[in-house]
Structure 1
Amino acid sequence: MTRVLVVEDDPQLVRALKINLQARKFDVEAAPDGGSALRLAAARKPDVIVLDLGLPDMDGIEVIKGVRSSSKVPILVLSARHTSEDKIRALDAGADDYVTKPFSMDELLARLRAATRRQAEPDGRADDVTVITTDGFSIDLPAKKVRRGDRTVRLTPTEWHLLEILVTHPGHLVSQQQLLLEVWGPTYSENTNYLRVYMAQLRRKLEADPSHPRYLITEPGMGYRFEP
């Protein structure tokens, strides 16, 4: 059973989360503040942490840093803070995902499932996987080939490089800056329009409905993720 530590000081929200998560066979424990969260994270070794940033005794960013000093447990931030700056601070501190309040329980559950899947893979990467198969297409990493049905999808070297980075971090947010640095180099670190153009091209080639992508997901202002 997946163990979830919910770090939240709103008793009504904690109760709602417990009811919904326990109904789906999660084992749930709650901490009302950052100090309790750090103690429970160290003692109970949860499989995933759901963390509010606005805690009574410390900022949630400090909790992330404290957990990250000794653990790689997935941390999913659940916060009313909506700005890109808050999201980037949390992700840079070591959070794996960020959901803003109010939120859909279905979305939260999907993010939790993705977080626990990533935890089962070393360092969040799929390095031991050579062929990635989805309902829409397959990717042969060693051969650098993509197929949709019975036909080969022709990608440019830049499209391939971008796709390869995303699919070897399944379910993981890859920041705009990381993609620009790895694909184009430091000179292009501010050229986010490059990413928009190339992601649009990849979606036209791989997605059944490019305007509503299923696999190549945009996190506005932050980056992109591949959802298998």
Structure 2
Amino acid sequence: MDNKPYILVVEDDKPIRNFITAALKVQGFNFIETDKGTEAIALSMSHKPDLIILDLGLPDMDGIKVITSVREWSKIPIIIVSARENERQKIEALDKGADDYLTKPFGIGELLARVRVSLRHSIVANNPKGNTDIFKVKDLVVDFNKRKVTINSDDIHLTPIEYKIMALLCMYSGKVLTHNFIIQEIWNSPTGSETQSLRVFMASLRRKIEKNPAEPQYIYTEVGVGYRLVDD
């Protein structure tokens, strides 16, 4: 039985679609493709793919509507690949339920890395027996039971808010978290009301875990959108 991940590619630009599917084939992934949003929704329901790669600018409907429709019944990971560079559009896609966002043109290596990250997260989320007490990436270790953070086995002393942010980033490592999402989760506050506080705490957190905050190894800024903790 073939148990390779099954990926739905939704892209109306045929050269780009061929570029993506060729790379997926080389990596051993199974895939199905379409250039229309309505068909993408139907295929996602009938084929139950493990992941969706989705362009937003489709000929029959906006990709945001595809996200909204899929999220009504499924948590299938969705990676957006779009030429839209407007920050508000990126935030809207992520807030509607997309798991990641790549702006065209993009490197196929980065796309495949994001695919692997999203698939790993999906496996963990659907495996309740998985060990979620310890998070480790590179030299960073977070012990959720002890509420302890270490770098190279050295204790990193975080404030309660810094620890909450760190734990949230770990929970969604590899995924872009919007400012609004983090603020809602940490402060349960109205949109934008704690934006400056988030920047201050994030700067402090970076000073504590990064060798050089200007060239981060762990927490990356998605300009105008939010933050992403590396997954590997």
User: What letter corresponds to residue 148 of structure 1 in structure 2?
Assistant: I
2:38 maps to 1:70: no
Partner of 2:215: 212
Q: CA 1:63/1:206 → structure 2, altered by over 3 Å: closer, same or farther?
A: same
2:155 maps to 1:152: yes
Contact 2:90 2:101 in 1 (8 A): yes
- Separation in 1, partners of 2:60, 2:120: 31
- Residue 182 of structure 1: how far off its partner (Å): 3.6
2:9 maps to 1:6: yes
Q: Equivalent pairs: percent with the same residue?
A: 39
Q: CA 1:73/1:103 → structure 2, altered by over 3 Å: closer, same or farther?
A: same
Gaps (5+ residues) in structure 1?
A: none
What's the secondary structure of 1:186's corresponding residue? coil
Gaps (5+ residues) in structure 2?
A: none
- Separation in 2, partners of 1:204, 1:106: 29
Q: Deviations over 1:147-188 (max 9, x none)?
A: 222421111222112112211222232221232234345278
| Most deviating of 122-131 and 164-173 | 122-131
Contact 1:47 1:73 in 2 (8 A): yes
User: What letter corresponds to residue 34 of structure 2 in structure 1?
Assistant: A
- Residue 210 of structure 1: how far off its partner (Å): 2.0
What's the secondary structure of 2:112's corresponding residue? helix
2:21 maps to 1:18: yes
Partner of 1:120: 123
Contact 1:167 1:226 in 2 (8 A): yes
TM-score by length of 2: 0.89
Partner of 1:132: 135
Contact 1:124 1:170 in 2 (8 A): no
Q: CA 1:102/1:187 → structure 2, altered by over 3 Å: closer, same or farther?
A: closer
Contact 1:136 1:207 in 2 (8 A): no
Contact 1:7 1:33 in 2 (8 A): yes
- Separation in 1, partners of 2:196, 2:180: 12
Q: CA 1:52/1:125 → structure 2, altered by over 3 Å: closer, same or farther?
A: farther
Contact 1:6 1:51 in 2 (8 A): yes
Q: Deviations over 1:174-221 (max 9, x none)?
A: 221232234345278433232222222222221233222222122222
Partner of 2:144: 141
Partner of 1:105: 108
Partner of 2:96: 93
- Residue 77 of structure 1: how far off its partner (Å): 0.9
CA RMSD of aligned residues (A): 2.3
Q: Deviations over 1:57-105 (max 9, x none)?
A: 1111111112122221111111111101111221222211111111111
Partner of 1:53: 56
Q: CA 1:171/1:69 → structure 2, altered by over 3 Å: closer, same or farther?
A: same
Q: CA 1:70/1:183 → structure 2, altered by over 3 Å: closer, same or farther?
A: closer
- Residue 115 of structure 1: how far off its partner (Å): 1.0
- Separation in 1, partners of 2:136, 2:99: 24
Partner of 1:192: 195
- Separation in 2, partners of 1:73, 1:182: 22
TM-score by length of 1: 0.90
